[in-house]
Structure 1
Amino acid sequence: MRLMNYVMTYSYVLGGVTAVMWIMRFIVFDLQESSKYLIANGRDEEAIEVLHRIARKNGRTVTLTLEKLRAAAHEQAGSTQTANKLSTLQVLKNSVSSLSFSHVTPLFSTRRLAINTSLTIALWGLIGLAYPLFNGFITLYLSTQIPNSTLSTNETYRDYAIISVMGIPGSIVACLVVDFTRKNPGKFAMGGRKVTMAVSTALTGVFLFLFTTSKSHAAVLGYSCASGFTENAMYGVLYAYTPEVFPAPHRGTGDAICSAFNRVTGLLAPIIKIVTTHADGSPIGGASAANGPIFVSATLFLVSSLLMLLLPIETAGKAAL
């Protein structure tokens, strides 16, 4: 009964937050539909209005008119507006028919950019495997390596809350370190995107290695808090760095490739767990093998930190590409 009450409370809290964000989307954030989507559906006038509205919001003016838009699309000026709205399937077919690598090849247009793009994609892939690999095997490790590791529902939620709260300062510290470098251009400072990422990622790997030495609940909680702190710092900088190193016209494509590679490698974590455990969930090779995946996860974080130092582009204190 107590577990059911916790689940219901958790559901109400999440539902309440979602409802508040939904209301804020209409009242606080004046979000507009994408002009590209509107044009794809034949709603040219609405697309022009969205552009004008965004311009007014930013204190700018837009001279684009419906006639100019049609002229740019090689349509006859003054012709009847296309009223036929395309279906979602038609829009999808049109998008696939025009599929090309025109936004991919520019990401590798120069040697320096090609190296940076390749390393960035690799980083997202490695971290995409390391993070779920640890989380997927942590329960197996605790059940085989930590005596009396079973906690009550109240204690479990308490620990989750502590770990989550301790992770918040990680993003703040990372921001301060990066911002210190941005305010000191041309001067050597132990900061910047690359160094901050590398240090926080390396510390995450170190804390995960130390996690495998835990023999008590207090040690597990302590190393979990430490790794949560450094992971937040790492992710905060990585999310800021990634779009900055892709040329603006092709930034969405670069981000999408990184995100896709991150998800693909993440799929390997549950597969690894399936092939390394018995049907009853016990590790193949005995209890001594339960910490193997955590070692692999920690190693992947350390390898990622080394790759971050090899990134040829630093964006702190500089304009994005």
Structure 2
Amino acid sequence: MTDIEDETKVTTVDAEMSPIKSSIKASEVDVGELISYDDIDPALEAKMHLVNNAINQLGFTTYHWKLFCLSGFGSGLLYAADSLVAFLYSITVGQVVFEYQPSYIRGGQLAFYVGALVGALFWGISADIIGRKWAFNISLLLTSIFGIICGAADNWIGYCSLVCLTAFACGGNLVLDTTVFLEFLPSNKQWLVTLMAIWWGVGQTIAGLLAWAFIPNFSCASADNCTRSNNMGWRYLFFTAGGLVLVMSLLRVTVLRFEETPKFLVCQGRDEQVANLFQKLAKTYGRPIDLTLEDLQRHGQVTSTHSRKRASLSEIWVHYRGLFMTRKTGMSTTLVWFSWALIGLAYPLFYFFLPDYLASRGARFGETSAYITWRNYTLAQVCAIFGPLLAAYLCQFRRIGRKYTMLIGAMISMAFFFSYTAVRNNDENVAFNCVISFATNIYYGTLYAYSPEVMPSAHRSTGNGTAVACNRIMGIMSAVVATYASPSTAAPVYICAALFGVMGLVAVVFPFEPERAQSM
């Protein structure tokens, strides 16, 4: 289409758009799209409506299953890579400290969270500017490379630096995995974004199994005479996990062959690519698609999603401003960021220091075997897989939805955290850890899915990335808390309990309920 023809169509947009605009206005939040652009960018509103119709018409295909598995297990070695890198650090730091004997043992944790903080912001904003595809694939490859090299670190500073780079590479995947999957999903399958959180449990379980195999058998028991040659367990762990992530990154390119999401393309004004994408998917999977290029182009140009200069601070400002385009979306964005900050403090206080706490309580109960400690740790992570399964089931019920699923998970977590100090034997200790692991992932898995659902497509990665960045900032604070409150005491457990109580109350006042509508 020529520029002259394009301009002609823009001038006639109001007359042609009126029937569709009326139908969009008539659709309430609980029966149509979750967010309305009608007063801000009518062209974007109309085109998003057409794209959502096309996604629903296409339905759920094997392409979606590939996305679920390779955006999950590839992220479960990035939705686990994010969790796996975090857990690799928490699992191995004790042995690394034995070997290097640094003056400040929390340096590695700070390095992880600084890298993850910068990564979340960098990949999140980049994905809204240059697209989901490149950030989605490159971040996984870089994570595998830095993770493998991390296992070869020669000193504490080198180790912390490589942990920081690995965290930076995988830091955006909490942002991109849900964003990518959500922007291809039909409305009746959006609950699958919550189910994706099972991969976190898978990643943690893999980390636990690898630690169970390597740490007891290839590690020094104390800092005395602890050298590289008798302390290879943590290195084997990084080599193996990094290799698994590398395999997943190659599978993303060779098996999935990821296409840029249609909602990102619409926000970029690339109507022809949107139409071609749907026609390609329809042909590949034998599904009918009515959407044509003419349908999209007759509504004019999208004007609200970018600044005039893409590579500029004004472009970043446009994406942040878009998250507060109405009072309701602004309140939603603020509460989502606050919730991520809260769990960013609570989650690492428990999970980063869980190995130490398990070991200390095991010793109190007469269990000092490293083998049993890591067995118990792995059992707790297996239970994490089932939390998102229940969450995905609950969030489909109209009277429960995402908000009350989060409330349920948070309240169960709070109750068992407060009860944890009443444990009197090793069996109870393991059982409580399993229940806590299960319950916290009901909440976290749902929040993970809810966050991108309630953000506008054009600014989704920026908003989601900032949410994860809030999480990382509080993770840094958890290192400060841990410095003054020993992880072998119950203090972090009490703090976690109180924080989960607050998270549950915040979830109730979220202004949007995605169970009743399709994300825009």
Normalized against structure 1, the TM-score is what?
A: 0.71
User: Partners in 1 of 2:274 and 2:518 — Cα distance?
Assistant: 25
Closer/same/farther in 2, CA of residues 100 and 163 from structure 1, 3 Å limit: closer
Asked if 2 retains the 8 angstrom alpha-carbon contact of 1:147 and 1:215, the reply is no
- Distance, in Å, in 1 between the alignment partners of 2:376 and 2:359 is 17
Q: 1:28 to 1:268 in 2, by over 3 A?
A: same
Alignment partners' CA distance in 2, 1:54 and 1:143 = 53
Over 3 Å counting, the alpha-carbon distance change for 1:223 and 1:245 in structure 2 is same
Alpha-carbon distance in structure 2 between the residues aligned to 1:206 and 1:258: 26
Check the 8 A contact 2:346/2:499 in 1, yes or no. yes
Quick one: structure 1 residues 2 and 137, their matched pair in 2 at CA, closer, same or farther if it must change by over 3 Å? closer
| 2:412 match | 203
CA shift at 1:236, angstroms? Answer: 1.8
Using the alignment, how far apart are the partners of 1:165 and 1:142 within structure 2?
16
- Please tell me whether the aligned partners of residues 3 and 153 of structure 1 are also in contact (alpha carbons under 8 angstroms): no
The counterpart of 2:465, out of the listed 246, 251, 256, is: 256
Q: Tell me the equivalent position of 1:185.
A: none
- The answer to which of 4-13 and 149-158 deviates more is 4-13
Q: Distance in 1 between matches of 2:463 and 2:366?
A: 43
Residue 364 of structure 2 aligns to which amino acid in structure 1? P
Q: Offset of 1:110 from its aligned partner?
A: 2.6
1:115–1:50 distance in 2 versus 1, CA, 3 Å? closer
Matches within 5 A, 1:70-219: 95-138=311-354, 141-142=357-358, 147-148=364-365, 150-181=367-398, 189=399, 191-219=400-428
- Which amino acid letter does the alignment assign opposite residue 258 of structure 2? L
Displacement of 1:316? 0.5
Task: Return closer, same or farther for 1:151/1:56 CA change in 2, 3 Å cut-off.
Answer: farther
- Matching of residue 220 in structure 1 with residue 429 in structure 2: yes
Q: Deviations over 1:89-123 (max 9, x none)?
A: xxxx9734544422222322333222222111100
Q: Which amino acid aligns with 1:25?
A: R
Bigger drift between 94-103 and 202-211 goes to 94-103
Question: How do 1:2-41 residues align onto structure 2 when only pairs under 5 Å count?
Answer: 2-3=217-218, 10=237, 13-15=240-242, 17-31=244-258
Which residue number corresponds to residue 39 of structure 1? none
1:107-147: CA deviation from partner (whole Å, max 9, x where unpaired)? 22333222222111100000011111123444555566661
Check if 1:317 corresponds to 2:516: yes
Q: Is the 8 A contact 2:359 2:373 kept in 1?
A: no
Where 2:498 maps in the other structure, the secondary structure is helix
1:266: how far off? 0.9
SS at match of 2:396: helix
How far is 1:252 from its partner?
1.7
CA contact 2:418–2:494 (8 Å) conserved in 1:
yes
In structure 1, C-alpha distance between the alignment counterparts of 2:324 and 2:473, rounded to whole Å: 22
2:490 to 271, 277, 291: 291
Q: Which amino acid in structure 2 is aligned with residue 313 of structure 1?
A: F
Aligned-residue Cα RMSD (Å) equals 3.6
Q: 1:138 to 1:97 in 2, by over 3 A?
A: closer
Q: Report the CA distance shift for 1:48/1:200 in structure 2 as closer, same or farther (over 3 A).
A: closer
2:346–2:496 contact (8 Å) kept in structure 1: yes
> 2:243 and 2:352 mapped to 1: Cα distance?
29
Aligned-partner Cα distance in 1 for 2:333–2:496? 23
User: Partners of 1:147 and 1:94 in 2: how far apart?
Assistant: 59
1:83: which partner in 2?
none
Q: 1:164 corresponds to which letter in structure 2? A: Q
Contact 2:355–2:373 (CA under 8 A) maintained in structure 1: no
Say whether the 8 Å CA contact 1:142–1:149 is kept in structure 2: no
The answer (yes or no) to whether the contact 2:341–2:471 under 8 Å persists in 1 is yes
Contact 1:137–1:294 (CA under 8 A) maintained in structure 2 = no
SS of the counterpart of 2:430?
helix
Which residue identity is paired with 2:382? V
* Counterpart residue identity of residue 395, structure 2: V
5+ residue gaps, structure 1, are 36-46, 73-92, 182-188
CA distance in 2, matches of 1:20, 1:164: 23
Q: Structure 2: which amino acid aligns with 1:219?
A: E
1:32 Cα deviation from its structure 2 partner: 5.3
Q: Which one-letter code corresponds to 1:304 in the other structure?
A: M
- Name the residue aligned to 1:85: none
Distance 2:445 2:355 in 1: 26
Identical residues among aligned pairs (%): 30
